[in-house]
A and B are shown apart, each in its own frame.
Chain A
Amino acid sequence: MLAMNYRGPYRVRTEQRPMPEIQHPEDAIVRVTRTCICGSDLHLYHGMVPDTRVGSTFGHEFTGVVEEVGSLVQNLKVGDHVLVPFNIACGRCNFCKQGLYGNCHEANTMSTAVGSIFGYSHTAGGFDGGQAEYVRVPYADVGPTVIPKDMDPEDAVMLTDVVPTGYQAAEMAGIKKGDTVVVFGAGPIGIMAARCAWFFGPARVIIIDQLDYRLEFAQNYAKCEAYNFKDYEDPVLFIKKITDWYGADVCIDAVGCEADGNPLQTFTGRTLMMQAGSATALQWAINSVKKGGIVSIVGVYGPPFNMIPAGNILNKGITIRANQASVKRLLPKLIEHVQAGRLNPKDLITHRVPLEEAADAYRLFSSKLDNCIKTVLIPSTKS
């Protein structure tokens, strides 16, 4: 089968690999119909995530048709068209049982801090991902969800990560009616977070990025205010100014470890890798939220440590809430939002590319070329 294959930082190709096999009675083999490239994949592509082994296949956002099921699988049958949450979760450990499917304790041998994610390095479990014609899906009775008949398959693939992550970013922010929400990052995740923030009744939603095409898109799609931080010498001061010198009620970090905007963070975090990426957006979030405010983090950081203003978290009494999205927990609610027409996730998709062209697709998304927001890879074995 054809699969994406990581060869090193900024180097990927597609090539033939052995078909995945059932290795556990609760596994399924899924023939992939659509698979997206995520901002998280860029952290792998740029060599920022430790234990990203050469020869791995990435891809944690995919839909597909069930081709084979293990002997203990009960909820899925061959031929089902499913959307597969990006988290691999057992459904039985204390974390899964409490709805924390992004923190399952029985799917990652390599790390206890990190849950398990398809195609996301050995630090996240060492599973191959869905940027391939076929993929092994462990705990097939827990995550995979049959795509409702009337749902557009492109909406379905966006429900594997982008929609739940954006929604959870807003949910964790604890937004109260009348709040001012500031979202850092106008990638798919930030745009979806800004859109979902409105579900909680804020008075203002503001999005910050450096790319005008994305800000313009966000303004239309998420009906929010949009500002380019490059236009302001001091973005934190600017946010203070536009929030009556009070600070935002809540801030959302939808950027993660490859933030721009602060040369010291960029140099120490991305050039020298002396910290787990640059924490500029998180620093800005902490410094622009009000006293007693909430900072919600969905932007991904590596495991060791980052430079953030810990003193200000203390002095301002800030609450920090963060997690990998718990896709499975949120799916019923979000499927309803999509079916009711309150959310149109497929509108974020700007590029549809054959799986064979994964190398170009990665570069295009990484360099933010051709006004790219979200790319879907389509295997030729789709139908």
Chain B
Amino acid sequence: MNITNEKFKHIPGWGIDADPENEPTYPMKKYTGDDHKRSDYERADQQKQEILLLKSPERPAISRVFGTTVPPSGLSGAIRRYAFHYSEDKIRHWIPLILADRIQVWEGLLNDLKRGYIPNIVAERGWNIEWKHNPKGMVKKIAIATSLGFLICCTLRKKKK
């Protein structure tokens, strides 16, 4: 923005071939040059923060709006809080998040049971519709799963002996 050759006159040829159209995102991006103003742009009002919000360490502040359902809680929540100590570059950020996702499945089951609700896993997994349209495939899947389970059981038993 407002960069003139004055400032760079000690560099021969500065800017002589600049071509604003030669932009990898053209025509997707309507180039305004505002990128050079960095984070100095107009913002909306700040949504009130009433829940625990985990912020990427790569940003200075929370975004002006955010979702509020399912804030982190329980063991999975503790793992998520750990994950957010690390930037999006780090595998230490992403693997714990996946782990937390898997743990939360069990927390979800426990919460269901705590409130006296027994989830209908068959319905939730849509097994009825799979059975209706793909009985062969389902039999195959069940056969593979049971034989795998059987194999694992056998090897574990052998190891114990």
Task: Looking at the assembled complex, report how far the CB atom of A275 sits from the nearest CB atom of chain B, in whole angstroms.
Answer: 11
| Chain A neighbourhood of B25, CB < 8 A | 100, 321, 323
Task: Looking at the assembled complex, report how far the CB atom of A49 sits from the nearest CB atom of chain B, in whole angstroms.
Answer: 9
State in angstroms the CA–CA spacing of A2 and B84 once bound together: 32
| Chain B neighbourhood of A116, CB < 8 A | 63
Most buried by B among A12, A23, A113, A361: A23
A90 contacts the other chain (Cβ, under 8 Å)? yes
State in angstroms the CA–CA spacing of A365 and B160 once bound together: 43
What number of A-B contacts does a CB cutoff of 8 Å give? 192
A36 contacts the other chain (Cβ, under 8 Å)? no
Asked whether A326 and B97 contact (CB < 8 A) given A94-B34, A139-B65, the answer is no
Asked whether A9 and B105 contact (CB < 8 A) given A56-B70, A98-B31, the answer is yes
B44→A369 contact, CB < 8 A: no
Most buried by A among B32, B65, B66, B134: B65
State in angstroms the CA–CA spacing of A359 and B91 once bound together: 32
| Chain A neighbourhood of B126, CB < 8 A | 10, 359-364
B63→A363 contact, CB < 8 A: no
Stretch at the interface among B5-13, B50-58, B142-150: B50-58
Asked whether A107 and B101 contact (CB < 8 A) given A112-B59, A168-B28, A367-B134, the answer is no
Task: Looking at the assembled complex, report how far the CB atom of B111 sits from the nearest CB atom of chain A, in whole angstroms.
Answer: 9
**Which residues of A228-259 have CB atoms within 8 Å of chain B's CB atoms?**
none
| Chain B neighbourhood of A382, CB < 8 A | none
Q: Give the interface size bracket for B toward A.
A: 35 or more
The closest CB in chain A to the CB of B47 belongs to: A24
Task: Looking at the assembled complex, report how far the CB atom of A295 sits from the nearest CB atom of chain B, in whole angstroms.
Answer: 13
State in angstroms the CA–CA spacing of A236 and B137 once bound together: 29
State in angstroms the CA–CA spacing of A138 and B65 once bound together: 7
A112→B34 contact, CB < 8 A: no
Q: How many residues of A contact B (CB 8 A)?
A: 70
Task: Looking at the assembled complex, report how far the CB atom of B89 sits from the nearest CB atom of chain A, in whole angstroms.
Answer: 9
Main secondary structure of the interface of A (DSSP, over half): loop
Task: Looking at the assembled complex, report how far the CB atom of A265 sits from the nearest CB atom of chain B, in whole angstroms.
Answer: 18
B134→A369 contact, CB < 8 A: yes
Asked whether A112 and B56 contact (CB < 8 A) given A13-B119, A51-B80, A359-B124, the answer is yes
| Chain B neighbourhood of A127, CB < 8 A | 66-67
A360→B128 contact, CB < 8 A: yes
Task: Looking at the assembled complex, report how far the CB atom of A311 sits from the nearest CB atom of chain B, in whole angstroms.
Answer: 20
| Chain B neighbourhood of A98, CB < 8 A | 29-32, 34-35
**Which residues of B1-60 have CB atoms within 8 Å of chain A's CB atoms?**
24-25, 27-32, 34-35, 37, 39, 41-45, 47-48, 53-56, 58-59
State in angstroms the CA–CA spacing of A23 and B53 once bound together: 15
| Chain B neighbourhood of A9, CB < 8 A | 105
**Which residues of A21-40 have CB atoms within 8 Å of chain B's CB atoms?**
23-27
Task: Looking at the assembled complex, report how far the CB atom of B151 sits from the nearest CB atom of chain A, in whole angstroms.
Answer: 16
| Chain B neighbourhood of A100, CB < 8 A | 25, 28-29
B44→A24 contact, CB < 8 A: yes
25 A-B interface contacts by CB (under 8 A): A8-B108, A9-B105, A11-B124, A24-B45, A47-B101, A51-B80, A53-B101, A54-B101, A56-B70, A90-B65, A92-B41, A94-B37, A98-B30, A98-B35, A99-B28, A100-B28, A100-B29, A106-B63, A108-B63, A109-B53, A110-B84, A122-B54, A126-B69, A128-B69, A359-B126
Which A residues are within 8 Å of any B CB, using their own CB?
Answer: 7-13, 23-27, 47, 50-57, 72, 88, 90, 92-94, 97-100, 105-113, 116, 122-123, 125-128, 138-139, 168, 171-172, 273, 302-304, 319, 321, 323, 326, 329, 359-364, 367, 369-370
Other than A50-B98, A52-B101, give 5 A-B pairs with Cβ distance below 8 A: A106-B64, A109-B53, A112-B58, A363-B126, A367-B137
Top 4 closest A-B pairs, CB basis? Answer: A363-B126, A8-B105, A126-B67, A127-B67
